[in-house]
Amino acid sequence: MGTATTEKTKGAEGAEAIRAILEAHPGAGRDALIPVLQEVQEQQGFLSKEAVVQIGRHLKLPASKIYGVATFYNQFRFQPKGKYHIMLCRGTACHVKGSQRLLSSIVKLLNLQPGQTSRDRLFSLEVVACMGACGLAPVVSVNGEFYAKVTPRKLAEMIQECRQKERGDVSN
Amino acid sequence: MFEIEVDGRKIQANEGETILTVLRREGVQVPTLCFMEGLLPSGACRMCVVEAEGMPALVPSCSYPAAAGMKLKTRSPKVLAARRTVLELLMANHPDDCLYCSRSGKCDLQNLSQEMGIRGRRFPATRTPQDADVSSPSIVRDPEKCVLCGKCVRVCEEIQGVSAIDFVGRGSRAHVGTAFDQGLNVSSCVNCGQCILACPTGALAERSYIDQVIAALADPSKTVVVQHAPAVSVTLAEEFGVKPGKDVDGQMVAALRRVGFKRVFDTSFTADLTIMEEGSELVHRVQTGGALPMLTSCSPGWIKFIEQFYPDLLPNVSTCKSPQQMMGALIKSFWAEREKIDPASIVSVSIMPCTAKKFECSREEMGRGGVADVDYVLTTRELGQLLRIFGVDVATIAPETADTPFGERTTAGKIFGASGGVMEAAVRTAHVLITGQEMGDLKIQPLRGQKGIKELHAKIGDLEVGAAVASGLANARKLLDEVRAGRKDLQFIEIMTCPGGCVGGGGQPIGTDQAKVRARMGALYQIDRDEASRVSHKNQHVQRLYQEFLGKPLGEKSHHLLHTHYQKREVLI
């Protein structure tokens, strides 16, 4: 019950924050959609259903249209980021160096598709086109920290480490 | 006016016309998939390409304006190869299950493949498996059969002003979906089914209840009765290849009996009843200062629409149930009592031109004590299917009349099937309620025809009457926005979800277009011209129903059985 209340307060705060963003775009129409989506995601970490409805009311756009636009671009996500946000590079150099194998193993290890967050909110996965570190290919980053020349085995160890850290946190 | 050359022939074109318009007028057949009459072209499918001299690439004729001196080739090898390749690429990601497809025989993709003589799969690509959305009580979406032409998206947005669906994702993952890819049942979809009529393939279809109806008919413990809507008798023949505009009311009644329904009732009877109740409600509102303008409530797509988008205007909606639900309620109360049948053992089926009626009959408030008033709704298309399954030939069967006590109808109830018909029927009866006299000429021309919004301003007795009629929910939006903005000259507004009203309903035969809608309307007004009983208040059986059972319009029994309430609906809009 405590959690429910927190979620509710969070929701109200979120709506307030989004309102502030929307107020900075008075009288905006559909051409303002992408900047607004970017600002809301920046603030909230993702685009919630409530946020999309709220944006739609302001810009006079149906939710389906906003969802359509947002899913066209890789940058928008619809679930909150996990405690460990994993970015996997699928750029050319990383592809040549075997990032497809990394992707399949991470999907299997975490039971997650790109764009999703695990149910315990611990991990989230994002696939990006290039991180500009091609010399280190294949590259994976966890919460902004880069890991070079990653192999599926190394990846499994990284995830294991995160989980161990979590267990430590809990026992502390 | 200027000249262009098409395949070596000189033809005339007008400023602002697209190449396709000119070609079609001249009898040059150009295949299309995404083209929609009356809407802005999208140029998505590329089936309609032609070669224009001096242009570097083929041009889509649906969206390219004709220009003076243009030299076009519509059947050069380059054009034919391009069209063929477009089709073959679409088919590369399309299931090969035409044998089992609900759209087989009426599928644009299948027809084009036949017309172009395609005899094999040229691109053996692996198909993307996608789940069908079976969440809606009205509409089933199978994205595997979708060719991404976007017609459903456009009809939902531009004609209906709903925008429940749009293109989602990009590239090979692009698909048509709702906001957040949720089920249609929790989206802003109003179940109108116009997307089904627009769809060129089997990607959209009604949720069929034929199997359940056949099972009920075979169950000796059930009494299966049926009602049929005013707009079905003028379209059913099309399902059997007859050209639009033929009324087969009597044959349909006979066919329904042949199939095994115990009683065949006419929903036009409860349409007449609706006029009695709704007319009285309007008079009551005018006299007591109730919410005006009053809005009609027969069209369930429209009801869901207003619950979602204009909840502030819900007090203006008539509390009358739709004719389908009035009939349903009467069958399981008055008729069940009279025939001494347990309402729970009655299976009440209705034949509707409408997919939203399937949703309507499942609404919680449309029943009593856990027993739904209407159990299954079949569309005109499904009735065609049912009759074919049972081998009943509508063409040769001798006409019969519907059953008492809900079989008699006036032509006022019958014209409910056309946009403006409810209003025309209401004005005919209102004239008597206000002046005590019948109208001289019962035909009200301003309320007829295919215009999206029609208005009537007339003096009835001493009363200035303002009435408006809208069909297609985007048109309804225009009227409602005016009312919200304070427009005061209207007392009564009729709104039908589908363009042209029920004759253009989402449950009508595939291939419905504006010309067919016109022919079907013509058939309804022909009935109104030919028959003698043309005003709802003179329906003898409606009068008897009031005497024997209901008491008076808006009375306690009516309130209990024939009226309902609405509520604001939270969906992702």
The verdict on B372 and B358 lying in the same domain is: yes
Whether residue B170 and residue A72 make contact (CB cut-off 8 A), yes or no, is: yes
B356: enclosing H helix or E strand: helix B356-360
Three-state DSSP string of B400-455: CCCCCCCCCCCHHHHHHHCCCHHHHHHHHHHHHHHHCCCCCCCCCHHHCCCCCEEE
> What's B145's DSSP letter?
G
How are beta strands B492-496 and B294-295 bridged, if at all? parallel
Q: Is B281 a catalytic residue?
A: yes
As given in the structure block, the two tokens for residue B502 are 């029920």
Whether residue B163 and residue A64 make contact (CB cut-off 8 A), yes or no, is: yes
* pLDDT the model gives residue A1: 43
A169/A120 Cα distance (integer angstroms):
15
Dump strand ranges (E) for B112-268. Answer: 139-141, 165-168, 175-178, 204-206, 223-228, 263-266
Of residues B206, B238, B278, B424, which has the active-site annotation?
B278
Q: What angle do CA B516, B522, B528 make, to 5 degrees?
A: 150
* pLDDT the model gives residue A12: 78
Q: Is residue B113 part of a domain?
A: no
* pLDDT the model gives residue B33: 94
Residue of A nearest to B570 (CA): A53
Can you tell me which residue has the tokens 């909606």?
B317
Q: Is B502 a catalytic residue?
A: yes
Domains held by chain B: number: 3
Cβ neighbourhood burial of A5 (10 Å; 0-12, 13-18, 19+): exposed
Whether residue B166 and residue A64 make contact (CB cut-off 8 A), yes or no, is: yes
Residue of B nearest to A50 (CA): B572
The verdict on B275 and B199 lying in the same domain is: no
Q: Is residue B61 part of a domain?
A: yes
A169/B233 Cα distance (integer angstroms):
72
- Tens of pLDDT, residue by residue over B462-483, are 888 999 999 999 999 999 999 9
Q: Is residue B163 part of a domain?
A: yes
Of residues B238, B307, B360, B424, which has the active-site annotation?
B360
In what order do the strands lie in the sheet containing A84-89?
A123-128, A84-89, A140-142, A145-147
Contacts of residue A97, Cβ cutoff 8 Å, sequence gap at least 6: A137, A138, A149
The verdict on B161 and B305 lying in the same domain is: no
Q: Is residue B62 part of a domain?
A: yes
The verdict on B136 and B252 lying in the same domain is: no
Q: Which domains does chain A have, with CATH numbers?
A: 2-72 (1.10.10), 84-171 (3.40.30.10)
- Tens of pLDDT, residue by residue over B106-156, are 999 999 999 999 999 999 877 778 999 999 999 999 999 999 999 999 999
* pLDDT the model gives residue B394: 92
Of residues B26, B365, B531, B548, which has the active-site annotation?
B365
| Chain B, window 148-187: residues with a beta carbon less than 8 angstroms from a chain A beta carbon | 157, 162-170, 177-181, 187
The verdict on B197 and B220 lying in the same domain is: no
User: Does pLDDT of A4 surpass 80?
Assistant: no
A83/B171 Cα distance (integer angstroms):
30
CATH number where B322 lies: 3.40.50.1780
The verdict on B217 and B155 lying in the same domain is: no
User: Does pLDDT of A165 surpass 90?
Assistant: no
CATH number where B178 lies: 3.30.70.20
B424/B469 Cα distance (integer angstroms):
10
Whether residue A62 and residue B167 make contact (CB cut-off 8 A), yes or no, is: no
As given in the structure block, the two tokens for residue B539 are 């329906």
For chain B (length 573 residues), average pLDDT per consecutive 10?
94 94 94 92 94 95 95 96 95 92 96 94 85 96 95 97 96 93 95 97 97 98 98 97 96 97 97 96 92 96 96 96 97 96 96 98 90 96 97 94 95 97 96 91 95 95 92 97 95 97 97 96 97 95 95 93 91 75
Q: Is residue B115 part of a domain?
A: no
Q: Is residue B111 part of a domain?
A: no
Domain termination site, one of B90, B118, B138: B90
Q: Is B298 a catalytic residue?
A: yes
* pLDDT the model gives residue A69: 96
Q: Is residue B168 part of a domain?
A: yes
Q: Is residue B220 part of a domain?
A: yes
Q: Provide the ipTM.
A: 0.90
- Tens of pLDDT, residue by residue over A75-95, are 899 999 999 999 999 999 999
The verdict on B11 and B51 lying in the same domain is: yes
Domain termination site, one of B177, B206, B235: B206
B527/B315 Cα distance (integer angstroms):
35
Whether residue A64 and residue B165 make contact (CB cut-off 8 A), yes or no, is: yes
Domain termination site, one of B90, B109, B138: B90
Contacts of residue A41, Cβ cutoff 8 Å, sequence gap at least 6: A47, A75, A76, A77
Confidence class for position A2, pLDDT limits 50, 70, 90: very low
- Domain extent at residue B316: 211-562
The verdict on B335 and B384 lying in the same domain is: yes
* pLDDT the model gives residue B38: 85
The verdict on B84 and B178 lying in the same domain is: no
The verdict on B486 and B439 lying in the same domain is: yes
Mutate to test the interface with B, among A37, A46, A64, A76 (most CBs of B within 10 A): A64
Whether residue A63 and residue B188 make contact (CB cut-off 8 A), yes or no, is: yes
The verdict on B546 and B497 lying in the same domain is: yes
CATH number where B81 lies: 3.10.20.740
Q: Is B318 a catalytic residue?
A: yes
User: Does pLDDT of A170 surpass 70?
Assistant: no
The verdict on B135 and B239 lying in the same domain is: no
